[in-house]
């Protein structure tokens, strides 16, 4: 019978051992802090530009993380490189699927404690487990970081970079669309993506007051 593997450690920056162990084979990810960089940019989800976050791992002795796992200095160095640190407190109990505070969850595994963000769950039985993500909730929380001013909204430069990438994808298939059914199908799909993007880009560049007025 399939079961859902629940976190055994609540949240926060804790690496303490769990009270009971459910062995997850072959995976072990260290504690991490979520961060964002302008070069990572955004992805378009349901008409909104959602920040793409990265996990900075607290791997002892790696990337300026202390041997005891303390990442304070390492994260300060990341900030000097332009990264914006997303504090665990940015995820409240009303943001997460399990109603727990913070965005880190810890799972016991055969190779040590395995860490995931709060919108990930594991289901399975025995040695076979499936990683599942609450994509809608994960995207909604990331967008809320922009709404709350913790991360910047996409700007004109960011939109132009995404536009150029879409146009490059379109041009890749445009020359073969007349003779290649796959290219024709891909071109149609990419053009639809461009149309969706342009509508979202226009809305994103409207002043906040205009967006509020149009949403009423």
Residue 128: strand, helix, or coil: strand
Answer for the pair 197, 44: CB distance below 8 angstroms, yes or no: yes
Residue 40: strand, helix, or coil: coil
Kindly report the length of the chain. 216
The structure tokens listed for 144 are: 């809320």
Domain boundaries, the chain: 3-147, 156-215
pLDDT in tens, 132-153: 899 999 999 999 999 999 999 9
Listed in sequence order, the DSSP H helices in 41-86 are 72-80
Listed in sequence order, the DSSP H helices in the chain are 72-80, 135-147, 156-174, 181-204, 208-215
Q: Specify the pLDDT at position 125.
A: 65
Query: What is 165-211 written as a DSSP string?
Result: HHHHHHHHHHTTTTT-HHHHHHHHHHHHHHHHHHHHHHHHTS-HHHH
Dist. CA 57–CA 3, nearest whole Å: 28
pLDDT in tens, 25-77: 666 789 999 999 999 999 999 999 999 999 999 999 999 999 999 999 999 99
Residue 89 DSSP label = G
Q: Specify the pLDDT at position 1.
A: 37
* CA-wise closest residue to 200 among 141, 152, 167, 153: 153
pLDDT in tens, 163-210: 999 999 999 999 898 899 999 999 999 999 999 999 999 999 987 545
Q: Specify the pLDDT at position 29.
A: 86
pLDDT at 11 over 90: no
Dist. CA 12–CA 91, nearest whole Å: 10
Mean pLDDT of all residues belonging to the chain: 84
**Percent of the chain residues past pLDDT 70, beyond the cut:** 81
Segment holding 51, helix H or strand E: strand 48-51
pLDDT in tens, 81-105: 999 999 999 999 999 999 999 999 9
Q: Specify the pLDDT at position 110.
A: 73
């Amino acid at each position: 019978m399939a079961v859902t593997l629940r976190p055994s450690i609540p949240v926060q920056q804790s690496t303490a051992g769990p009270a009971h162990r459910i062995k997850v084979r072959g995976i072990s990810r260290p504690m991490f802090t979520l961060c964002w960089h302008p070069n990572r940019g955004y992805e378009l989800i349901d008409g909104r530009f959602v920040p793409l976050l990265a996990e900075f791992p607290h791997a002892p002795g790696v990337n300026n993380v202390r041997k005891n796992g303390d990442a304070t200095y390492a994260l300060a160095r990341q900030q000097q490189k332009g990264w914006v640190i997303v504090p665990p407190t940015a995820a409240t109990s009303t943001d997460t699927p399990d109603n727990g505070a913070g965005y880190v969850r810890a799972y016991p595994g055969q190779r040590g404690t395995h860490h995931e963000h709060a919108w990930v769950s594991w289901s399975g039985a025995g040695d076979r487990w499936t990683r599942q993500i609450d994509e809608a909730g994960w995207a909604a929380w990331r967008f809320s970081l922009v709404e709350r001013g913790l991360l910047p909204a996409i700007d004109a430069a960011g939109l132009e970079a995404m536009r150029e990438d879409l146009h490059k994808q379109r041009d890749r298939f445009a020359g073969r669309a007349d003779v290649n059914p796959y290219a024709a199908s891909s071109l149609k799909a990419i053009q639809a993506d461009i149309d969706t993007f342009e509508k979202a880009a226009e809305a994103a560049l409207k002043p906040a007051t205009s967006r509020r007025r149009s949403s009423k």
